[in-house]
Chains A and B, each alone.
Chain A
Amino acid sequence: MSASIVDVFLNWEVISRYLPDILGSLVYTIGLAVLIVAGGLALGTVLAVARSAGSRPLAALIVVYVDVMRTVPPMVYLIIVFFCAPYLGLTLSPFESTWLTLTLILAAFIEECVWVGIRTLPAGQVEAARSTGLSWLRTMRHVVLPQAIRMMLGPITGKIAAITKETALGSVIGLTEILGTAESASSNSGNPSTLTVAVVLYLMIFVPVVVGSRYLEKNWNWKT
């Protein structure tokens, strides 16, 4: 047996040839992930606050949005965004399409987490803040959200880890992030070793995220 598993999946010759390209693609994956987290957290929090504002129609609309975003596979939305945007007069690059799609999806999950956090907070917290004359919005910002988000930090970072790794979907619309680059390298070389590299890189990026989320969940609690 000359073609051992090492030759197929850990072929150093192939790996060293394509490694610079793959490492270059890291920028896209990490940059995209950071922007998705920023956008998703911001939009998700705004939606959760809007949902608690007391308007039933608005709350219902947000629930519909959240459910729709969570139930359809992300890839479907990505394709819709990428291929439909031009008809709306928008030309979105693969990077922009992937960012927008995953931000909208992450926001739905974050909204759900933050909403649960808001609902779980004892009513006395809001009463105390309002009794000192703080407006509803300031109460949300200074008293409710800091506690709701910390309470739900575990689930929130879990969703972040789950959605940011979907940046790999960008490869289907030609985004040169890690998976896309590794995949085209493997078809060019006829050897899947570059995919092994992709696996290692994904582990290097997302294991810290997952471990970090577990750490935060454990250590961000405080006695009341």
Chain B
Amino acid sequence: MAYPILEIVGLQKRYGDNTILKGVDLSVMSGELVCIIGPSGSGKSSLLRCCNRLESVQGGQILLDGEEVTRFDIDLNKLRQKIGMVFQSFNLYPHLRVLENVTLALRHVKKLSRKDANAKAVDALTKVGLADKLAARPGELSGGQQQRVGIARAIALDPKVLLLDEPTSALDPELVGSVLSVMKSLKGFGITMLVVTHEMGFAHEAADRVVFMDGGVVVEEGPPQQIFNAPQQARTREFVGRYTKGH
């Protein structure tokens, strides 16, 4: 039975006088793949970064599996084990090998033995199709491979939700496909994903639900068919139209 694993209620985020998020409401069901689209500066990335408290929150609530993420006294290190994050610029540790990139948190956060951590890391790297690159350094990999290591690093911790912040935006066009197909296969493993993306084709085809954000609020959300083929809001229509015209 699907239930809301991540609930965002009236979320507000300010940098000084600049309000980035003006009361965002959004919930993600377990096993769901939700894509957030919208123009740059609409607050998509900030929304994601508030969910694991990389950014502070000025108002509203975020609940992860019923637990209040936005409580001031929450143990952030415990919370973050339950919310994986994948970054636009990969942020792999360049001084560590691929396997070590994935085992670092398993060993020092989950406190697994070296053997167990390695087994779990190999499992995660197999899921992203990189079981043959365990000993490589991040610098020896293509961008697409690096991002797949980034995904493996996050899913190895068995998070309840995986946040992906423009995971393919830094990639050469020919490498985008491999990362998107890994994301689709993760859906098959039942991993819940909240993805900020500019890949409209991916959102249209793979998402269960698409959320259109603009100006710090959710303008419209619904199944991809609605957002891309029959948007209800004028702003959605204009944004989606700009993208589909380009194709």
Please judge, given known A-B contacts A128-B87, A132-B109, A133-B105, whether A223 and B94 are in contact too, CB under 8 Å: yes
Which of B54, B84, B92 contacts A127 (CB under 8 A)? Answer: B54
Q: Within A109-159, which residues are at the interface with B (CB < 8 Å)?
A: 122, 124-125, 127-135, 138, 142-143, 146-147, 150
CB pair A134 B109 closer than 8 Å: yes
**Count, A-B residue pairs, CB within 8 A:** 76
Please judge, given known A-B contacts A132-B80, A132-B105, whether A150 and B95 are in contact too, CB under 8 Å: yes
Minimum C-beta distance from B230 to chain A (A): 37
> How many A residues, CB 8 Å from partner?
21
Query: In whole angstroms, how far apart are the Cα atoms of A124 and B95 in the complex?
Result: 14
Q: Is A222 on the interface with B (CB-CB < 8 A)?
A: yes
CB pair A131 B85 closer than 8 Å: yes
Minimum C-beta distance from A54 to chain B (A): 14
Residues of B within 8 A of A147 (CB): 93-95
Query: In whole angstroms, how far apart are the Cα atoms of A147 and B87 in the complex?
Result: 19
Q: Is B241 on the interface with A (CB-CB < 8 A)?
A: no
Of all chain A residues, the one with the shortest Cβ separation from B81 is: A133
Query: In whole angstroms, how far apart are the Cα atoms of A137 and B8 in the complex?
Result: 30
Q: Is B120 on the interface with A (CB-CB < 8 A)?
A: no
CB pair A142 B54 closer than 8 Å: no
Residues of A within 8 A of B109 (CB): 132-134, 138
Q: Is A224 on the interface with B (CB-CB < 8 A)?
A: yes
Residues of A within 8 A of B76 (CB): 130
CB pair A222 B80 closer than 8 Å: no
Of all chain B residues, the one with the shortest Cβ separation from A142 is: B104
CB pair B137 A134 closer than 8 Å: no
Minimum C-beta distance from A121 to chain B (A): 10
Minimum C-beta distance from A144 to chain B (A): 10
Q: Within B82-120, which residues are at the interface with A (CB < 8 Å)?
A: 83-85, 87, 89, 91-95, 104-105, 108-109
CB pair B104 A132 closer than 8 Å: yes
CB pair B105 A224 closer than 8 Å: no
Of all chain B residues, the one with the shortest Cβ separation from A141 is: B108
Query: In whole angstroms, how far apart are the Cα atoms of A138 and B107 in the complex?
Result: 11
Please judge, given known A-B contacts A133-B77, A133-B80, whether A222 and B104 are in contact too, CB under 8 Å: no
Residues of A within 8 A of B41 (CB): none
Query: In whole angstroms, how far apart are the Cα atoms of A122 and B138 in the complex?
Result: 15
Residues of B within 8 A of A134 (CB): 77, 104-105, 108-109
Minimum C-beta distance from A217 to chain B (A): 16
Residues of A within 8 A of B105 (CB): 129, 132-134
Q: Within B24-70, which residues are at the interface with A (CB < 8 Å)?
A: 52, 54
CB pair B153 A224 closer than 8 Å: no
Of all chain A residues, the one with the shortest Cβ separation from B150 is: A128
CB pair B93 A135 closer than 8 Å: no
CB pair B80 A125 closer than 8 Å: no
CB pair B77 A135 closer than 8 Å: yes
Query: In whole angstroms, how far apart are the Cα atoms of A29 and B54 in the complex?
Result: 49
Which of A130, A138, A143 contacts B80 (CB under 8 A)? Answer: A130
Which of B79, B108, B140, B154 contacts A223 (CB under 8 A)? Answer: B140
Residues of A within 8 A of B78 (CB): 133
Minimum C-beta distance from B170 to chain A (A): 11
Query: In whole angstroms, how far apart are the Cα atoms of A128 and B52 in the complex?
Result: 11
Query: In whole angstroms, how far apart are the Cα atoms of A172 and B77 in the complex?
Result: 53
Query: In whole angstroms, how far apart are the Cα atoms of A139 and B80 in the complex?
Result: 14
CB pair B138 A125 closer than 8 Å: no
Contacts A133-B77, A133-B157 given; 4 further ones with Cβ under 8 A?
Answer: A133-B105, A134-B108, A147-B93, A147-B95
Chain B residues in the interface with A (C-beta under 8 A):
52, 54, 76-81, 83-85, 87, 89, 91-95, 104-105, 108-109, 137-140, 150, 153-154, 157
Chain A residues in the interface with B (C-beta under 8 A):
122, 124-125, 127-135, 138, 142-143, 146-147, 150, 222-224
| CB-CB nearest 3 A-B residue pairs | A223-B139, A132-B105, A128-B91
A-B contact pairs, 14 of them (CB 8 A): A127-B87, A129-B93, A131-B52, A131-B154, A132-B80, A132-B81, A133-B77, A133-B79, A133-B81, A133-B105, A134-B77, A134-B104, A223-B139, A223-B140
